[in-house]
Structure 1
């Protein structure tokens, strides 16, 4: 791991974003093995992803944002509050303006500006929109580690990238598998599934660069990513995991995901 520590933070963020994108591609590649997936298993995996994101939002983003604000002479809670709320508002505006369709819904339930775009495009855009804060979170974490401040560390940034990578696996499946079930070819279903996360390396680089250039942005940026991720969990992952009658299993998956991410962050960070 020493070689990774010597890399420029921008390159670290790019590699970490590439890793999370790659895990999404692994999930999407499941279409080459089967045409459908057990709904219970998928709901547990979506619940697990929700738990990871909730834990990452607190342990890896909000808590460091509060501590960084205090190190910079701030109130602690102020930048965290502002950034958190702005993150949720940003995702809400994206939901209002960007045409997209959540997996498992009919075309007449598409959100955003009305369009004649195909179902495939709308499905990819839904996950892409919600992958932006994940990439941003990874990038900001690596940029924060470069600051040398006590509240941020490289190991914590790596733990965050690993956690987001874990929760990207079911997201890749959730996009690619329904398309395959509707008759889409294996390669096209895989392509669409992995394409939904291609934005993560880009967002990671932009996030790292922004906080390295403007250091006082750090607590706001960390909290912004947390707010956006919590919005995704409440608006998409939890409802999707519990709309097929597997509520208890999905909830247990959420608990497991939270526990895994908490252990990752506390032990590595």
Structure 2
């Protein structure tokens, strides 16, 4: 099958299936990152910090170009105050992640067990690591689903949400998911967990993305007026993750300059993808 035929086939899919495909792609790259445990037992802190910084940069750029800008444009076409849905959704997304962060037991990669967050539990380290990554995979999946739903269904009167833009968002999130899978599987492997289990837990953190992508697409298709709020909600949730988790984690080993450069490179890559394809 030629590329043109694949493109025509994909563009003709129901938005729900497009969102599912995008979510499965981002999950697949999480699994690919986790699969590094089959080839090596450890990845240096400098490499991991640069990768986490890169992931932060991708999420910041995606939040602005792929989510907040379309949210503001859509609000204008709906006849409401342009910035209002963006602000409400953005702050609500951050608040949602704050509540999840406070109550869901989880452990950020690279931190000891006594620094686990959320409700106290006897769950194993592997489970807590998976939950930490899963927390910020939820808004990523929602972002992909909402954008595909808006683009493919024609519910976006402003025309700022396009299928190519949704594809670029899925590609960008997929790229930054690679180090997230590695960030779960590698610490477990270093602690003596088997290769198979380390990979399993690493990829498991991304399985929520196709699920939340489908939920996001279905929500905007059923309740079209919430679209600008849904986009900015995903943006707020992702920015919360970047500031509260990814940037601090990328600098905890003292590699601040390297992590910062990684963030700038990630931002640039996502900006190029969004502007070129969107």
Q: TM-score, normalised to structure 1's length?
A: 0.99
* Shift in Å, 1:130: 1.2
Deviation track 1:106-141 (CA, whole Å, cap 9, x = no partner) reads: 111111111111111111111111110000000000
Q: Secondary structure, in 3 states, of the residue corresponding to 1:221?
A: helix
Q: Specify the alignment match of 1:139 in structure 2.
A: 145
- Select the residue among 11, 19, 38 that pairs with 2:25: 19
Verify: 1:234 aligned to 2:243, yes or no.
yes
Separation of aligned partners in 1, 2:51 and 2:120: 31
Q: TM-score, normalised to structure 2's length?
A: 0.96
**Correspondences of 1:94-109 after superposition (within 5 Å):** 94-109=100-115
Verify: 1:267 aligned to 2:276, yes or no.
yes
Deviation track 1:234-254 (CA, whole Å, cap 9, x = no partner) reads: 111101111111110110010
Q: Show structure 2 runs of 5+ residues with no match.
A: 1-6
* Shift in Å, 1:148: 4.7
Verify: 1:125 aligned to 2:131, yes or no.
yes
Q: Specify the alignment match of 1:186 in structure 2.
A: 195
Q: Specify the alignment match of 1:247 in structure 2.
A: 256
Separation of aligned partners in 2, 1:122 and 1:157: 31
* Shift in Å, 1:80: 0.2
Preserved contact between residue 87 and residue 232 of structure 2 (Cα < 8 Å): yes
Distance 1:92 1:148, change over 3 A: closer
Separation of aligned partners in 1, 2:162 and 2:216: 16
Verify: 1:201 aligned to 2:193, yes or no.
no
Verify: 1:40 aligned to 2:46, yes or no.
yes
* Shift in Å, 1:48: 0.6
Separation of aligned partners in 1, 2:44 and 2:132: 22
Preserved contact between residue 139 and residue 234 of structure 2 (Cα < 8 Å): yes
- Deviating beyond 4 angstroms after TM superposition, the runs of 4 or more aligned structure 1 residues are none
Cα RMSD for the two superposed structures: 0.7
